Amino acid sequence: MNPAQAIPKISGIILAAGLSSRMGEPKQLLPFGESTIIETVIDNLIGSKLDEVIVVIGHEAEKIQAHIQHKPVKIVFNPDYKEGMLTSAQRGVESISASADAFAMTLVDLPLITPDLVDMVIDAYVQSAGGIAVPSYNYRRGHPVIFDRRYADDILGLDEDSGGVRSLFKKYAGDIHYVTVDTDRVLTDIDYRKDYEEALQKSVSA
């Protein structure tokens, strides 16, 4: 996008519908800072330049909704959450506002991604000519990933055998602008209890 153009409107999508099977309990609701993991992720996105925040829920939806219904977010229920993350990504993409020019997608188990990191990716998206902006640490792709709206139909057309949203990185490799960051916070997801404990330590030492 040409910097001279109007600032694009970007929707944020948090994928929070998973089973947390490796954790053994809903990681969305684990204590983190002064609230929970999911509330921390929501607050980080709200604190960024994103124009709206969409939260896709599924497993333990009622419990999770009770924790976040006071937040200024759009809550979307994915009835097909047991079929995998792709279905949640598709529900999120379907729910972006009609005025959105692009959408940023991230996972609920990345509470260490601060608003300034989100804004770095947003700024890179705005300034780049490519349609996809991805943060990178030590040559590893992180989150959030920002997609121009023109890729929405591609995502909605994917099936479970497609390789998911990641398949677009191969299909549209030439459209990707990588944003080099100096922290592994864009990679630090929480799958196991050990991951959770390490993330807590990082949040305290920040």
Query: CATH number for the domain including 14?
Result: 3.90.550.10
Give the HSE-up count for residue 181: Cα atoms under 13 Å, Cβ half-sphere. Answer: 28
What does residue 133 show for φ and ψ, rounded to 5 degrees?
Answer: -120, 130
What pTM, to 2 d.p., does this model score?
A: 0.94
Those residues with Cβ within 8 angstroms of residue 189's Cβ, 6 or more apart along the chain or in another chain: 107, 109, 110, 195
Q: What is the tens place of the pLDDT at every residue in 159-172?
A: 988 999 999 999 99
Count of residues making up the chain: 206
- Cα-based distances in Å from 130 to 1, 125, 127: 7, 7, 9
Residue 1 in any domain: the answer is no
Instruction: Give me the torsion for CA of 50, 53, 59, 65, rounded to 10°.
Output: 140
Q: Is residue 5 part of a domain?
A: no
pLDDT digits (tens, 9 = 90+) for 80-98: 999 999 999 999 999 999 9
Q: Is residue 117 part of a domain?
A: yes
Residue 4 lies in a domain: no
Asked if pLDDT for residue 43 goes beyond 60, the answer is yes
Question: Is 106 domain-assigned?
Answer: yes
- Average of per-residue pLDDT across 89-116: 97
Across residues 26-41, what is the average pLDDT?
96
Residue 69, token pair as written in the block? 């219904």
Domain count, the chain: 1
The boundaries of the domain holding residue 79 are 10-205
